[in-house]
């Protein structure tokens, strides 16, 4: 009797899918470099969430010698003009890697783009997905801060945070950043294609506070050998965040990571925390795990 995985697919289907995926991988193989490396489609993708800590996650994962990470966000599955270029183009955006290495890219917008789960599934149903989430209210403030700085740079006007968060005395449901924090809605789309066992949720709040245990869990999920260790991290008091140490070289993330958020009046904050209780509960139920959010 075929065994059934969490998505309901039989093991026979999975075998077929894996063969199909490896044939796609072979068809899109780019030229082999004389040193034995080549560009490969990612076997792992960090799908989001925007402002969840995706940069920190990919940089920390890159500490592992078994990982080859794309430097910039590729936006292959969510931008039509990129998607139309096809998988060969996608592969050509990847770093050169050795056959034993896992290629990874991060595009935080994937998590909230409804077309993306099916597209990744069709590329390779065996793709391992990493999703880093943080407290949904904190995520909104971080999202607002990002847009605020972008507009400031372009000398454009920006609205104070309270006016985007509240409309006619109530939570502004039209605010895009609010929708991005409704994790259960987006997660439902992913679970239509991928079983939970293929999606590892990283606790973004914990990655900030104490990155090592989170990274050890990621290593396990990706079946990587245990390489990342305490000496890879040190706390930088000036930045207020952990920074990375690799082969004696120390570096922190870019100054755009870890910016101060705007002060929000406490009744509004309380309203937001309250608002997210139910969506968070639904999310926890979906993934069978809880997080220490407000
Ligand atoms: N070690 C370390 N150093 C600096 N920043 C860290 C770190 N770990 C997690 N973070 C948090 O990452 C948040 C940015 O998330 P993303 O990289 O996903 O943002 S983006 O969507 O790619 O723009 C960023 O959000 P803000 O604090 O709002 O700037 C950080 O809180």
Q: 183-191 and 266-287 helices cross at what angle (nearest 10)? A: 20
CB distance 215 to ligand 1 below 6 Å: no
Select from 62, 257, 259 the residue to mutate for testing ligand 1; criterion: most ligand atoms less than 8 Å from CB: 257
Question: Does a cis peptide bond (omega within 30 degrees of 0) precede residue 214?
Answer: no
Residue 291 has pLDDT above 50, yes or no: yes
Strand bridging mode 38-39 / 96-97: antiparallel
Residue 61 has pLDDT above 60, yes or no: yes
Residue 262 has pLDDT above 70, yes or no: yes
Q: Write down the pLDDT at residue 18.
A: 63
3-state SS class at 198 = helix
Q: Write down the pLDDT at residue 5.
A: 38
Alpha carbon nearest to ligand 1 atom 31, residue = 258
Would you place residue 34 in the very low, low, confident or very high pLDDT band (cuts 50, 70, 90)?
confident
pLDDT in tens, 117-157: 999 999 999 999 999 999 999 999 999 999 999 999 999 98
Centre of ligand 1 from the C-alpha of residue 57, in Å: 9
Q: Write down the pLDDT at residue 4.
A: 32
Length of the chain: 294
Q: Write down the pLDDT at residue 8.
A: 39
pTM of the predicted model over 0.80: yes
Which atom of ligand 1 is least distant from the CA of 48?
Answer: 18
Residue 9 has pLDDT above 80, yes or no: no
Query: From CA 88, how far away is CA 127, in angstroms rounded?
Result: 17
Q: Write down the pLDDT at residue 113.
A: 98
Question: Does 86 carry a binding-site annotation?
Answer: no
What average pLDDT does range 91-98 have in this prediction?
97
For residue 109, the 8-state DSSP code is G
For the question of residue 209 being annotated catalytic, the response is no
Please choose, from the candidates 165, 285, 198, 212, the residue with its C-alpha nearest in 3D space to the C-alpha of residue 60: 212
CB distance 56 to ligand 1 below 6 Å: yes
The residue written with tokens 């066992």 in the block is 197
Kindly provide the ipTM of the predicted complex, given to two decimals: 0.99
Centre of ligand 1 from the C-alpha of residue 265, in Å: 23
Q: What is the mean pLDDT of the chain?
A: 92
Q: Write down the pLDDT at residue 30.
A: 80
Q: Are 116 and 82 in contact (CB under 8 A)?
A: no
Residue 10 has pLDDT above 50, yes or no: no
Residue 24 has pLDDT above 80, yes or no: no
CB distance 29 to ligand 1 below 6 Å: no
Q: Are 186 and 179 in contact (CB under 8 A)?
A: no
pLDDT in tens, 172-211: 999 999 999 999 999 999 999 999 999 999 999 999 999 9
């Amino acid at each position: 009797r075929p065994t059934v995985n969490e998505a309901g697919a039989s093991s026979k289907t999975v075998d077929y899918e894996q063969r199909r995926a490896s044939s796609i991988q072979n068809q899109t193989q780019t030229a082999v470099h004389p040193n034995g490396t080549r560009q490969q489609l990612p076997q792992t993708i960090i799908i989001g969430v925007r402002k969840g800590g995706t940069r920190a996650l990919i940089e920390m994962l890159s500490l592992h010698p078994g990982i080859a990470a794309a430097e910039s966000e590729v936006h292959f599955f969510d931008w039509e003009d990129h998607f139309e270029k096809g998988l060969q183009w996608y592969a050509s955006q990847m770093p050169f890697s050795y056959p034993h290495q896992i290629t990874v890219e991060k595009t935080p917008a994937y998590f909230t783009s409804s077309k993306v789960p099916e597209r990744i599934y069709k590329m390779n149903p065996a793709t391992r997905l990493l999703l880093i989430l943080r407290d949904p209210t904190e995520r909104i403030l971080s999202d607002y801060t990002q847009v605020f700085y972008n507009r400031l740079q372009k000398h454009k006007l920006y609205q104070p945070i309270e006016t985007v968060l509240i409309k006619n005395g109530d939570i502004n449901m039209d605010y895009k950043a609010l929708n991005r924090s409704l994790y259960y809605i987006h997660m439902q789309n992913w679970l239509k294609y991928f079983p939970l066992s293929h999606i590892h949720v990283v606790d973004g709040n914990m990655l900030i506070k104490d990155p090592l245990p989170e990274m050890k869990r990621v290593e396990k999920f990706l079946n990587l050998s245990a390489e990342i260790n305490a000496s890879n991290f040190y706390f930088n008091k000036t930045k207020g965040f952990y920074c990375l140490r690799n082969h004696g070289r120390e570096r922190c993330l870019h100054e755009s990571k870890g910016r101060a958020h705007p002060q929000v009046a406490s009744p509004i904050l309380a309203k937001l925390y309250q608002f997210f209780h139910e969506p968070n509960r639904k999310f926890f139920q979906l993934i069978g795990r809880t997080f220490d959010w407000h």
